[in-house]
Amino acid sequence: MNKQNPVERIKILRNDYFKCSQREFAEKIGFHQSHLSKVELYQAPLTEKFIDAICKNLNVNRSWLYGADTLPFNPDNSINLNTKSKIDKNIKKTLNELEKGFLQLSYKKQQIILDLIHTLIEDSKIND
């Protein structure tokens, strides 16, 4: 399949950026896993409601989702932190600065960083 169509871009988001199962991804966007599966298999239509949920809940750039050569995530929105958590203001500021810098990188460089982060997380699970 063409990597430029929205369904393939959704698969890229789920597999490459979020590295999560269909169930986990569907929960993030407020849909059932079975519906996501059907969309990914081209057995259900890709609706605006579904696309809106991805863009809103995951901060995805709608133009990128439709195949534009842009960054996958919107740079102007800050990280959607859990409002109940009491994160120090300096940590929030640092996370926002990291997010802005990350979103300015090319897709390839973003992927390298994401792979590194996932490796570090997995290593910490093993060593903790």
In tens, the pLDDT along 53-87 reads: 999 999 999 999 998 888 898 875 444 444 334 44
**For the residues 28-35, what does the mean pLDDT come to?**
96
pLDDT value of position 110? 87
User: Which of 6-20, 39-53, 102-116 is predicted least confidently?
Assistant: 102-116
Q: What is the largest CA-CA distance in the chain?
A: 46
DSSP 29-54: HT--HHHHHHHHTTSS---HHHHHHH
Q: For residue 44, is pLDDT > 90?
A: yes
